[in-house]
Amino acid sequence: MAKSQPLVRAYLRASTAEQDVQRAKGALLAFADAHGQRIAGFYPENESGTKLHRPELFRLLDDSQPGDILLCEQVDRLSRLTEADWLTLRGVIQTKGLHIVSLDLPTSHQFMAGAGEETFAGRMMGAMNSMLLDMLAAIARKDYEDRVRRSREGITKAQAQGKYKGRVRNDALHSRVKACLASGMPIRKVATVCDCSKSTVQTIKAEMDKADKALESA
């Protein structure tokens, strides 16, 4: 029996809905086409890469079969995780028997051609790819931690100078979200309609619930 062709599933992540998760779609389509592959499905997600449990990522993993390919534009789209969480995610991916292919990791491109690790050269390339994947995941995490540290230092400095006033509230967005929530629309749908993150909708809903309770007790 002929070996079945592995399926390619593309993961597109941005930290918030204000960023366009579709931006990388063209690059992934062109990459797959250049390797004679067709992308079986796209899994766009608006979640932080610092979170291990992401709905679309784990839906991709659930949909995949051994030998399938998890395609992403950059390793940091897949992970900005702590070392412990990265090892957990990598373990899940390995247990599923999937191959990670990232456009910024040339050693991973071999899997797009169906190249396995049966030969000595294949095993060597696989080991090198695994090492580089871990390295890029660690770099992505450090980049995240450096940006957080610089942001906090900037806020501290601005506060000391009396210049920091906090994040400016988007009143128009809040009004749209409140209207959608008041109509009974589910949180995930509100986030899509209003083009914002699910956490933003949840924060606004919490404010509404708090205001309602205050009125009830008044």
**Taking residues 79-100, what's their average pLDDT?**
95
Give the Cα separation of 93 and 72 in Å (integer).
14
What superfamily would CATH give domain 8-141? Resolvase, N-terminal catalytic domain (3.40.50.1390)
Confidence of residue 2 (pLDDT cuts 50, 70, 90): very low
Asked if residue 111 lies in contact with residue 101, where contact means CB atoms within 8 angstroms, the answer is yes
Give the Cα separation of 15 and 12 in Å (integer).
10
Q: pLDDT, tens digit, for every residue of 123-169?
A: 777 888 899 999 999 999 999 899 889 888 887 887 788 776 666 67
Residue 108 falls in the annotated catalytic set = no
The pLDDT value recorded for residue 155 is 78
The pLDDT value recorded for residue 18 is 46
- Per-domain residue ranges of the chain: 8-141, 171-217
Residue 202 has pLDDT above 70, yes or no: yes
The pLDDT value recorded for residue 118 is 64
Confidence of residue 57 (pLDDT cuts 50, 70, 90): very high
Q: pLDDT, tens digit, for every residue of 165-182?
A: 666 678 888 888 988 898
Which residue among the candidates 15, 48, 130, 199 is catalytic per the annotation?
15
Beta strands at 99-102 and 39-46: parallel, antiparallel or unpaired: unpaired
Residue 17 has pLDDT above 60, yes or no: no
Q: Which residue has the higher pLDDT, 58 or 119?
A: 58
Identity of the residue numbered 140: A
Rounded to 5 degrees, φ, ψ at 106 are -55, -35
Give the Cα separation of 20 and 51 in Å (integer).
19
Confidence of residue 116 (pLDDT cuts 50, 70, 90): low
